[in-house]
């Protein structure tokens, strides 16, 4: 039986962007402390604001630029929210797919991976407490609402997390563009734990040693590797078809 999660520290965080804030408003488990928005953005999500009984502070786009920076694509809306209840590996059920990240630190990539995880009904995204991005506003914006649907589980030791998942009957698969095994030919049924490494460095040696399989995406073209977030989406499509 899954153990109850623990509440993260109560300090709030910033989310921005229409889809990101909409998803937060639609998530009954997400505590919204305040919303700042332009009149146009507030009108776009009026029904959700009314459902949550939130009266946004109407500001100018320039006010939002000064708060999060001109480079942030805030789309006229910023929300301050409390972190969701933290989850652990003990909360994972022994079916479907989970994804583990081995020192992927770019919040854009992690956010894009999280979005794909939400699209393919992944149970959880597991990262290490060190050498991984926090649930930053950039990550949340790149995830386009995925942060509300897929829990991010932080662990102190990735090898130990892999061993725990193996004890739960997960087949652990490390992605490597030069691996001998084609991902689609792995002869083991779900559940699967897909492990992705940082671009350039790939998976660490110890991580590779702990995987049940090292697998590649079989690419017919001249380029045999992809951006890690694109590779994650294709892997999840392939593994999801093996789950059904």
Domain presence at residue 176: yes
pLDDT of 82 higher than 90: yes
Percent of the chain with pLDDT over 70: 95
Q: What is the pLDDT of residues 28-53, one digit of tens each?
A: 999 999 999 999 999 999 999 999 99
Domain presence at residue 1: no
What range defines the domain where residue 229 resides?
Answer: 88-243
**Is 113 found in the same domain as 80?**
no
**Is 39 found in the same domain as 73?**
yes
The last residue of a domain, from among 52, 70, 85: 85
CA dihedral 8, 12, 16, 19 (to 10 degrees): 40
**Is 187 found in the same domain as 163?**
yes
pLDDT of 81 higher than 70: yes
What pTM was computed for the model?
0.91
Confidence of residue 233 (pLDDT cuts 50, 70, 90): very high
Question: Side by side, which strands form the sheet with 32-37?
Answer: 13-16, 77-81, 32-37, 57-58
**Is 183 found in the same domain as 77?**
no
**Is 60 found in the same domain as 124?**
no
Domain presence at residue 156: yes
How high is the pLDDT of residue 242? 85
User: Using an 8 Å Cβ cutoff, are 4 and 90 in contact?
Assistant: no
Backbone φ and ψ for 224, nearest 5 degrees, come out as -105, 5
């Amino acid at each position: 039986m899954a153990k109850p999660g623990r509440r993260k520290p109560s300090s709030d965080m910033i989310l921005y962007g229409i889809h990101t804030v909409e998803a937060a408003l639609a998530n009954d488990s997400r505590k919204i402390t305040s919303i700042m928005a332009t009149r146009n953005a507030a009108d776009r999500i009026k029904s959700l604001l009314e459902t949550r009984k939130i009266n946004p502070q109407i500001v100018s786009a320039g006010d939002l630029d000064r708060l999060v920076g001109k480079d942030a694509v805030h789309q006229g809306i910023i929300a301050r929210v409390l972190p969701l209840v933290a989850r652990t590996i003990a909360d994972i059920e022994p079916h479907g797919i989970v994804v583990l990240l081995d020192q992927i630190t770019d919040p854009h990539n992690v956010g894009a991976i999280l979005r794909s995880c939400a699209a393919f009904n992944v149970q959880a995204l597991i990262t290490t407490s060190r050498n991984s991005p926090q649930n930053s506003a950039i990550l949340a914006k790149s995830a386009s609402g995925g942060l509300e649907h897929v829990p991010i589980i932080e662990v102190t030791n990735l090898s130990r997390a892999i061993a725990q998942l193996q004890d739960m009957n997960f087949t652990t698969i490390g992605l490597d563009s030069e691996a001998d095994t084609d991902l689609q030919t792995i002869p083991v049924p779900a559940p699967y734990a897909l492990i992705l490494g940082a671009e350039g460095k790939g998976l660490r040696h110890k991580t590779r040693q702990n995987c049940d399989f090292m697998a590649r995406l079989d690419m017919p073209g001249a380029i045999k590797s992809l951006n890690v977030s694109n590779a994650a989406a294709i892997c999840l499509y392939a593994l999801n078809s093996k789950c059904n």
